[in-house]
Structure 1
Amino acid sequence: MGVHRNPQHSGAAVKFPPFLLERYFAQHEFSVPHLLCVSDCQTMTAGELLDLEPGSREALERLPLGYTEAPGGAGLRAEISGLYENLPPDNVLVHVGAEEAIFTFATACLEPGDEVIVHTPCYQSLHQIAASRGCTVIPWVARPENGWAPDTDELARLVTPRTKAIVVNSPHNPTGFCLDRAAMERIVAVAARQGCLLFSDEVYRFLEYGVDEPPRPACDLYERAVSLGVMSKSLGLAGLRVGWVASRDKAALSAMAAVKDYTSICGSAPSEFLAALALRRREVILARQYALTTANLELLEAFMSRHAHLFDWVRPSGGPIAFPRLASGQDAEPFCAEVLSGSGVLLLPGRLYGDAWKAHMRLGFGRADFAQGLGALEDFLKKGAV
């Protein structure tokens, strides 16, 4: 995994290459029988969500459908701020999903020529937006032989006086690795020594199950950290399209808000209403997600044991996804295509995260129909077609 360098843009329009993972889902997501690679958890209907709070239906019917506050409604920001330690609502900036927040951060806080260290493999936009803006992106590579744990000593060696930001993700997409509290504190210490920004993708927060002490949010540990959250993943409410950043760095938040004026401007009033409701009732929702995801993980572990000749894997310690590898070391893309054609099961080829991961594939185990999809995959494998 080498350094990614792009020329400075000298006023030219920024051009982004295709977002490989999103194009793959656009082709298949709504047409295949079994989605066995999704990254979110089981969703619920609007009615089921409204049932969690008496009077919410009537309140929704009275909701004005005008513009909302650009930083996010006061009620929603108050609920989000309660997820952090002593963080006022004014230190929260709501976005339309996590993707918009990643975009506004990279656009507002990074400049051509900046060095950005990115926890890798990762969701493409976490490195691509910075690279397309002319930043030098330096991969901080997590490796399966280390249980997917990134090496914090290596991170310290990668930081230079030119480092503008460090990007970290835990629980991690696509590997399912979860930092423990001590590891996050070491990452924060490295960032603080340089005084650089720390962008912490925490969209799978609250779904940690393999560490004794889950890490505290980065924004609670460091004044220049920006913590990313979203309703889509652990809470399973992707259709609300509500994400946010939380930070004590008012300059970063202000710069991101100025970029957001050119994207969504503000969010949807019904989405913000439902998101605030879900956060008030998050303990109920998260308990369901935890029970379902960990039960599905046991099914997946048994499956991997039965097919150890075919797959290598590291058991996840957080989130609803895993990143197994073909034991043969061959490119997993033809395997995924054959599985899709023969069984209707959609797997995600690791190549979509970069060629270094082409023997891997992403599996998602956060949904209620996971057992059916896994059964269809196993039936296919038993036919000996692969």
Structure 2
Amino acid sequence: MATSRKPMRDFGLEVFFSRWEFKARHHMTASDLESMKLSELLAMASEEDREGFEQLWLGYTETWGAPDLRFEIAKTYEALEEENILCLAGAGEGIYVVSKCLLTSDDHVIVPTPNYQSAETVPLSVCDVTGVPLLIREGGTDHPEWRLDLDAIKAAIRPNTKLISLNFPHNPTGLLLSTNELKELIELCREHGIYIFSDEVYRGVELDIEQQMPQIADVYEKGISLNVLSKAYGLPGLRIGWIASQDKAVLQKVERYKHFLSICNSAPSEVLGIIALKNRDRILARNRSLMQENVLQLEQLLEDFTGLVEWQRPQGGCVAFPRFIGPGGVEAFCKSLLEDSGVLLLPASIYASELSEVPQDRFRIGFGRDSVFKQGLAAMREHLEVYFPEYSK
């Protein structure tokens, strides 16, 4: 379904979180990996980098980002150099500013649904946007539950289609694209001269690292990769994000727009970001291991209450979007968990889209944190034992 340009609506997820994220006893829908203390990150630093942090001059930084930071970011790509990197204040600034710089009222955008809301809301404030729902496959667990509808994307393309917005590993379903699907999509976009804006914030925390997708900026000349230290690295407090592209003209436009927004990144955050990126293999390995441990515990809980939730393990990222099939519906289930047991989940209504229908029997659960997750899982088990004893094995 296509929707015409309109004012930006409230960010439903953030409005919900502003009320509950720091009030609920058990935050079980977090979309980031386990963070760390400043002392833990500094313990990973070389003596030179630690001294650089302690002796840091707290002035303005370069709008593009510190050269050493961009150098370390570029090393996470196969074919890019530091001049292909522009640092931003988190990923949200990237989603906003790319839309505002790249799009005009004469353009058209295609966005899969469900999605991270700003992926559709910001483009909608500029131009027409078409939503293409992910397909849900039925029958068995031998293939991913969700699938990108490439035929529907092809059918949605117009002469003025400027950009397709992607997010893989996907929030909230955990879907990844296969190599063939990604190649087909790139060739389709190349044929029509369409940009691909790819939110890749969960790259590096695939449950099976062999399924990791290439980054779009590495493999497509009109690709724009978005990433951040918040999600896979578990360092949202740093507010260090970036876009990467072979198209330096796009980066220049975004850099000029950034002058009206964050202007530059925090100097301490840039130095800490450099330390994190120099230790990225260690940090990402820790986070993947934690996810793999947590997802097994979550699956055991769901198996112990068969018939309440239809579950298939996500492929990447630390969130899943399972289907609630128990009595009363998912909204009542999430409300009761929160009010009676202090367990915070995101019901499907939070993922409502202006572009297309989103399944309303789903909820988002996060499994990327350590003690918070384990305590929340215990609280969920107690809740299910009290309210759904008939489903217990």
Provide TM-score, normalisation by structure 2. 0.92
1:384 aligns with 2:387: yes
Distance verdict in 2 for CA 1:211–1:158, change over 3 Å: farther
Worse-matched range after superposition: 143-152 or 40-49:
143-152
CA contact (8 A) 2:207 2:291 kept: no
Question: 2:213 is matched by which residue type in structure 1?
Answer: P
Partner of 1:68: 61
The answer to whether the 8 Å contact 1:208/1:318 transfers is: yes
| 1:112-261 paired onto structure 2 within 5 Å | 112-133=105-126, 135-145=127-137, 147-210=145-208, 212-261=210-259
Counterpart contact for 1:329–1:359, Cα < 8 Å: no
Superposed displacement of residue 330, structure 1: 6.2
Q: Distance in 2 between matches of 1:213 and 1:206?
A: 10
> 1:257-276, aligned counterparts within 5 Å?
257-276=255-274
How far the C-alpha of 1:328 sits from its partner, in A, is 4.9
Q: Say if 2:348 and 2:364, in contact at 8 Å, map to a contact too.
A: yes
**Which digits, 9 at most, give the CA deviation of each residue in 1:42-86, with x for residues without a partner?**
000111001012313322111111000001110000001111123
Q: What does residue 103 of structure 1 align with?
A: 96
Runs of 4+ in structure 1 off by over 6 angstroms are none
Question: Are 1:142 and 1:148, in contact at CA under 8 Å, matched by a contact in 2?
Answer: yes
Residue 39 of structure 1 corresponds to: 31
Measured in 2, the distance between the counterparts of 1:89 and 1:54 equals 22
CA contact (8 A) 1:185 1:221 kept: no
Cα separation, 1, equivalents of 2:51 and 2:276: 16
After TM superposition, give the deviation of residue 4 of structure 1 in Å: 1.9
Judge which range, 186-195 or 239-248, deviates more.
Answer: 186-195
SS at structure 1 position matched to 2:87: strand
Query: 1:125-149: CA deviations, max 9, x gaps?
Result: 001001122x111112113326112
Tell me the residue number matched to 2:367.
365
CA offsets per residue over residues 63-119 of structure 1, 9 Å max, x none? 111000001110000001111123111111100000000000000001113211112
Aligned equivalent of 1:24: 16
- Report what 2:141 is aligned to: none
What is the CA distance between 1:363 and its match in structure 2? 0.2
Q: Could you tell me which runs of 5 or more consecutive residues in structure 2 were left unpaired when the two chains were aligned.
A: 139-144
Q: 1:113 to 1:272 in 2, by over 3 A?
A: same
Question: How far does residue 329 in structure 1 lie from its aligned partner after superposition?
Answer: 8.8
Query: C-alpha separation between the residues in 2 aligned to 1:151 and 1:329?
Result: 31
User: What corresponds to 2:41 in structure 1?
Assistant: 49
Paired residues in the alignment total 377
Equivalent position SS for 2:123: helix
Q: Give yes or no for contact 1:94–1:244 (8 Å, CA) kept in 2.
A: yes
Residue by residue, what CA displacement relative to the aligned partner does 1:255-289 show, whole Å, maximum 9, x if unpaired?
Answer: 11121111001000000100111000011111110
Alpha-carbon distance in 1 for matches of 2:257, 2:61 = 17
How many Å separate the matches in 2 of 1:381 and 1:84? Answer: 44
Shift of 1:331: 4.7
How far, CA to CA, are the matches of 1:328 and 1:336 in structure 2?
12
Tell me how far apart the structure 1 counterparts of residues 222 and 35 of structure 2 sit (CA, whole Å): 33
TM-score by length of 1: 0.94
Report the CA distance between 1:384 and its aligned residue. 1.8
DSSP-derived class of the 2:333 partner: helix
Q: Deviations over 1:3-34 (max 9, x none)?
A: 22226xxxxxxx42110000111101111110
CA contact (8 A) 2:26 2:342 kept: yes
Q: Note closer, same or farther for the CA distance 1:308–1:193 as it changes in structure 2 (3 Å cut).
A: farther
2:112 and 2:283 map into 1 onto residues whose CA distance is 29
Deviates more, 1:274-283 or 1:355-364: 355-364
Q: Is the CA contact (8 Å cut-off) linking 2:308 and 2:324 kept in structure 1?
A: yes
What is the CA–CA distance in structure 2 between the aligned matches of 1:205 and 1:375, rounded to whole Å?
29
CA distance in 2, matches of 1:212, 1:385: 38
**Residue pair 2:178, 2:213 contacting (<8 A) in 1 also:** yes
Give the equivalent residue in structure 1 for 2:3. 4
Which whole-Å CA distance do the structure 1 matches of 2:250 and 2:210 have between them? 32
Q: Percent identity?
A: 39
Structure 1 residue 168, shift from structure 2 partner: 0.8
Which one of 58, 72, 76 corresponds to residue 79 of structure 1? 72
Q: Which letter does structure 2 place at the counterpart of 1:362?
A: R
Task: Name the CA distance, whole Å, in 1 between partners of 2:376 and 2:124.
Answer: 36
Structure 1 stretches lacking a partner, 5+ long:
8-14
Residues 32 and 232 in structure 2, CA contact (< 8 A), matched pair in contact too = yes
Distance 1:287 1:255 in 2: 35
In structure 1, C-alpha distance between the alignment counterparts of 2:107 and 2:56, rounded to whole Å = 44
Amino acid corresponding to residue 387 of structure 2 in structure 1: G
**8 Å Cα contact 2:232-2:287 kept in structure 1:** yes
Shift of 1:182: 2.4
Q: What is the rounded CA distance, in whole Å, between the counterparts of 1:211 and 1:67 in structure 2?
A: 38
